[in-house]
Amino acid sequence: AQKVTQAQTEISVVEKEDVTLDCVYETRDTTYYLFWYKQPPSGELVFLIRRNSFDEQNEISGRYSWNFQKSTSSFNFTITASQVVDSAVYFCALSPNTGNQFYFGTGTSLTVIP
């Protein structure tokens, strides 16, 4: 079974705080891909990152960083020094090596308070 769990439904932080969004996945595939998407209030889904299951190196992009740990089946997303523009719903997604399906989590709504 393929499943993505984002246990945090809503998070509120004060601007400049760091925040980590959790993502736990389930899959029997040995090769798979993990994604994060951002959905700002305007509604579009914006691609943030793709990571394959063989690459456990953490990634940093500006204020964004991702921690992939196969041992715990987690792919967590940290925003450092959060800003109001970071307010959005963030989706974690899983895709097996082949096929068309994306398995999305239910999303975490992040509100950054000025």
Partner 1 sequence: DAGVIQSPRHEVTEMGQEVTLRCKPISGHNSLFWYRQTMMRGLELLIYFNNNVPIDDSGMPEDRFSAKMPNASFSTLKIQPSEPRDSAVYFCASSLTAAVGLNTIYFGEGSWLTVV
**Closer Cβ to partner 1, 82 or 110, answer by number:** 110
Contact 105, 5 (CB under 8 A): yes
Q: Strand 108-113 and strand 10-14: pairing?
A: parallel
Separation of alpha carbons 105 and 82, rounded Å:
22
* CA distances to 34, 88, 92 from 28, in Å: 14, 31, 18
Nearer to partner 1, 29 or 74 (CB): 29
Tell me, what DSSP letter sits at residue 102?
Answer: -
Question: Closest distance between partner 1 and the C-beta of residue 105, in Å?
Answer: 8
Retrieve residue 80's tokens.
Answer: 């450092």
**Smallest gap, in angstroms, from Cβ of residue 39 to partner 1?**
9
Name the residues that contact partner 1, by CB under 8 A: 31-33, 35, 37, 42-47, 50, 52, 91, 95-102, 104-107
Nearer to partner 1, 17 or 26 (CB): 26
* Closest distance to partner 1 from the beta carbon of 54 (Å): 12
In whole angstroms, how close is the CB of 46 to partner 1 at the nearest point? 8
